Structure 1
Amino acid sequence: MMSAQQLEQIEQLQATLSKMQVTLNAIAEAVVWVDENQGVQWCNASFELLVNQPDSTILDSRLNNLLPLARAGQPLAPQFYPDVLLHQGEYKTTEYEFGEGDRSLMLQISGSCTGEAPGKSAVLVIREITQAKDDITLTQSTQASLPESEEQLRTLINATPDIISFKDGEGRWLESNPATLELLELQGVDYRGKTDAELAEFSHFYRDALLGCHITDEEAWQKGSVHRQEEIIPRPDGTVSVVDMIKVPLFYPDGRRKGLVILGRDISDKKRVEEALQASEARLNTILSRTLAAIERARVYANRDWQYEYISPSSVAIWGYCAEEIMGDNNRIPSRIYPEDWAVMSQRCFDAVFAERPFNYEYRYNHPDGSLHWISVTVTSVRDEVADCWIATAISTDISDKKRVEAALSESEAKFRTIVENANAVLAITNVEGILSYVSPNVTNLTGWTPAELEGQSFAPYIHPDDLPKCLEVINRHLAGELAVEFQYRVRHKDGSWRWQICNSSVSRDANGQLLFITVTRDITDHKLAEEALKASEARLNTILNSTLAVIYCMRAYANRELNYEYCSAGSLELWGYSPEQLIADKNSLLSRIVPEDLETTLQQGFNTIYAEGTGQVEYRYNHPDGNLRWISSDLTSVRDEATDSWFVTVISMDITDRKLAEEALKVSEARLNTILNSALAAIYRVRVYANREWNYEYCSAGSVQLWGYSPEQLIADKNSFLWRIAHEDLETTLQQGFNAIFTEGTCEREYRYNHPDGTLRWISFNLSSVRDEATDSWIATIISTDITERKRKDYSATFPGISSTKT
């Protein structure tokens, strides 16, 4: 029979274990026990939340099945999981990547082993470290129970870096983890059973702090519930730590004091970040007022209403209104956006905000000064569950200059493409095996081969060996769903020489539903240099020129030219190919990709600006991880921080590749155009014709604007827009001959007079061919039309010398 003293000791032990169990469910870290067979034997509520499974499905499951981990983007093999390495005695605290569904987290896993074989267990403590300096999250749950093992509980407590200690009702220390003893310099001291005052004699530096602990202890006892406050703790190195201290009093049923649970977490980094952010806010406003980039932050609600929280001073330059005017009227900016742009943008933007995914859009804006501006906006959002809303951040930039350059380049390229496409174009039809079923007659002029020599043959033997893989890849891209591809290759001329070709390939189907590749090929041997200059521009037009990248990042610079990133916006992934976390972890990942001849100049200009506490701008070339060379412009400003003997630098970087390439390509294109602008104009179009003589455009090249005065979109929307401009005496004959050729699947050549919208009378020649489409009970007609007005005038002048052809 146990003595009263033994019973009291057991009761105290049980009370201690109970406190530890409460503590383990109160901490934010996930905790899990894994046996030697890799089966989970116990976990706390935080682990259940992490793997999003209940306790009933977790127990006895393997950790690698519950928690898919990765290192450097590569899945972690089962034999390298923390629990396996712990059992082998080869593990140390490590960071892992964890992704499941839409979640992507960084986890820090520490642990130790307890017990002896065969009952040996691995105890893992898992901390989510994705967003550094987060507020402490205390998760209390009573859904699971801890094993009745004091040794395992103590092992777990010893593994956490937070302060954990227990005192009895008289203030005597019962348990404490190494983190607490290390903080108070009590390592090696037999602390159990001693009061704060007694322990103060063992710690010279923290003597006063220990002597003052009873004050906050008593506040917790008096409050009778959880007592939380921030405590300032000086450190021997002259710094101070800010600790978020939680004290939980426990009482016997009769009201007597039973024990005190003490939890603490160092939040010094969080405090420093908050202070740094407050200090930088004024500097950021100064920077933003000097650049054409406005930043907005708003709370967005499920009913699609929103409330601005912040608008940068640059709003005046972007929209013509100050922040107060915009925040006072939510409709002030939308009312000046083109209605058709606002209808699309608002719908897509709200959808993106609610889905918490990035959103980019360009829209037209009627500026209060009467001018039309193009604005590019990038929006990101995060859910605020407490306020039941989304916090959206938008960066808006004025891209009007870029749009003007883009429009000029587009017009120049359209003219150039129209002339080149129709001067020496070859139309061909190829099946998925690469067999040519049709080649237009002009192939003889380009390659020396006749259609009869090529039809029924594979195209492969005629392609340069170095270019054949590229051509085969185009077929694979079409089979994968890509509808249109433009590429260049060399083809063998009948005389043995190699000729450069540019090919526009699209997808169609025959009457049996089999895939066909329709290609329009032009000889570009004489224009290769010009085309090489335009190739990069055309490849990037839809992916680069239509988006404006802007990244804001903050870093700390030192006199020895060392740099440390402290913040970087999410746009870094698009601009440089690295996430903010990657840049902060390794600053050289960006510097190593700057073109070497630009690097030293860029750094020198940057450091000169930083050390002068001024503002400056640098432009440099950057080898993006996606293989492209980009031009980057960075505006930076710095402020001296005497406290840390450093400079605080804020930088806004934007992608100016589109402008650089567009300007360069435009110059090259315009130089080439001067030599060919006097060539004939032509347009290629494809129509679907039915037996009742109804027909619809399916495609029309951009040359329609010059030829008929209507864009492809206008012709496709209204086919009669140009028919009524054909001379009445030519219209019926032209249509009759055209339909006859179409219905007989033949060819037709015809000339007609056309009253152009610019007031001139023009002669148009067209060549028509057709093929029957049994699947849709129709005919597909392909037509090449050319302006022959100048030729007609010359013929007339030769026939009737001295009489002006304008009288015809």
Structure 2
Amino acid sequence: MDKSKQSYQQTSENGAIHSNEVNPAPARTAANNLAPDGSAPDGSAPDGESKFRNTVKQAPVGMIILRGEDFVVEMANDAYLHIVDRTEEQLVGKSLFASLPEVREHVEPILLNVFHTGIAYHGNEFEVTLRRFGRPQICYFNFVYQPLFDDNPGNASGIIVVATEVTQQVLSKQALQRSENHFRNLVTQSQFAKAILKGPELVISIANESMLNIWRRSLDEVVGRRLIDIFPELEEQKFIGLLNEVYQTARIHRGNEAVTYVDGPGGLKRHYLDFQYAPIFEVDGSVSGIMVSASDVTDKVTLRQQFAEAADRLSLATEGTRLATWDLNIKTGQIIHSGRLAVIFGYDETAVLSHREMRDQVHPEDRQAIVERAFQAALQTGVYVYEARIIHRDQSVHWIRTQGKVLFDEAHVPQRMLGTMMDITDRKESELALKTIEDKFRTLADSLPQFVWTADANGNLNYFNRSMTNYSGHTGEEIERSGWLQLVHPDDQEESQLLWNEAIKEGTDFMFEHRLKRFDGEYRWYQCRAIPQYNANGAIEMWVGTSLDIHDNRLFIDQLETKVQERTQQLIVANNELIRTNMELAQFAYVASHDLQEPLRKIQTFATRILETENANLSERGKDYFNRMQASSTRMQQLIVDLLAFSRANVAEKHFESTDLNQVLQNVKEQLSDTIQAENAIITSDLLPVRDVIVYQFEQLFMNLIANALKFTGPDRAPVIEIRSGEVHGAAIPLAGANAARHYQYISFTDNGIGFDPQFKDRIFQVFQRLHNRSSYEGTGIGLAICKKIVENHKGLIDAVGRPGIGSTFIIYLPFAAES
């Protein structure tokens, strides 16, 4: 603040500035005629003097009358006493500086000059430190020192002081100025194009370098001129109208990829801009100007794909940086900072910290060695940068990185420093952890018996653990210099190099078994494997490889393969013998079953003849015995037939033919026509597929399933059989043997018979298993076992779903021909 200003100005409550003229005439005419005690020379109190004193007492500004060269206080009004926080007893009748010694240094020279020269002194926003309200305070005053004269006009007898405190107005103006300077610095130093337009005429006040590049103008060409005068081509475009709208409505307007034409050396040139027009408000809320932020995105529009990738990379690079900003006045030590900086130092973002408080939180080991040294270097170079530790109030230690720039005046004297700060604790801890991990990795690698090695992105080996150097008899530097191929057996070198180069080119894992030379010249088999390590951008950063000694295993495997081949040959011989034995057993079963039927036929024949010829001579009991004998022999014959069918299903030749299953179904229906007609049965069917099947087995399969449905009918209802066909994915089949990766065709047989309890669904497919007694339903208990065997012969699955009293469904699942 310039303490020598001669103009007297007073700041009113609404912030306006008014010039005040102080008329010293009353002081000359009235006060000059007062006695030292304030009365008239004759001891009376004239009306003029009383009026003057009352005026002084009631004046809204501070007023004090000083007498003599010692500046003895003759009187002081209440406003002045309030300003200096003194009582009338403390001031009146005493020297001014006896009561206010703190102002003597700055005020006494001015008073003496006024007293001796008789020339009034006007002070504007005069800075002085007063001790009031219990502590020293920096205050600012507008004042007039007016000399008082006796009868001799040439000699002043005193001074009348008129003072108005403007401390709050000055502080507010200073803060506003700092804010405006900070704002201007942010605008001019912003990496984005910014400009300030003032007033409704849109006069250019500020434009940073980026904006000038877009405009293709210099700063001198644009500052102080209307935007429309600089760019008349904008008159026919939308931008002037949008700016006027923002100015009038005080609302922000944003635009993306707006087309604009700017006149330049080569004529009008089309640009694409992302822009924002933001109103700038005064204290009273009125709009005083507009901040224009713009970004030329012409290249983004024309090369959108490339720009999008760059934008993504930029977004990833800047995401989460959480920078704090600060502005330091180097002369005063005052600092302005963002809320984020307070958070970095461990406070709430609303906290306001001084430069000294921040410096005191720096770790003692880093304060002088790093921070102070960097600060002193910045005063010379203009660049301020360091990384140091700070201590929070909870004694936790954090790392910060500060970058700043020093602003010098014309004499190269540093004035201010602007900068950013960020918390890098996580990064530092990661670096420490990475170093710890690397040390552990090297220690672990050196302790392993396996070889551990690394290579750069181009495949050049650059690290070998102790096991490898001990084995080869070469140091890591020797291997790196001479190449690792020198250790590989000559017969394995070419293929090793080929596979290694291919892995590096394709970015795939490297794996190969080759022989490595030991320090004594012996070669041993090693399994070598290397996998690539990627950085954050997905590029290969390095390779990590291992080599495992498999020499003994390799010899063992060779021996094992020889034994496996021998054992395989033995198994082939055993398997052929088993096939021959099974065929003989099947032939035996067939012959036995066939021969067993001959005596049964004779038993049935003789029993029938006896009943026919000797019927009259037989008792009722005898007839019953012969009937039972015939029934038993019939069941025995059926059992032999079913056993023969089951045996054939197991071992018969599996000759597949492309067959229309609709024809198979028709053949079965014709064979069962008498039973179907007798039972009044209804059989409906979907269109069945054409498949490669064993024809006679599928006829038997359909025969057994339909015959069962006709046999196990419900009471008082005609059989209804529905045959359906379709496709299903293996994952939807509720059977253990289903392949979830395959697709199946299914054929289902649904009846309305007696059904069965679901708990018996597995039992019904077993040989000789029945759910009902022989007296209720005839049968041998082999039919469904035959069905299951037939389905298995066709690589399929069979399932049964039963509901007692409602009916049953048998489902056949057959894989598609390409998958079977």
TM-score for both structures, normalised by structure 2: 0.34
Does 1 or 2 have the higher relative contact order (CA < 8 Å, sep 6+)?
1
Normalized per residue, which structure has more helix?
A: 2
The structure with more radius of gyration: 2
Normalized per residue, which structure has more strand?
A: 1
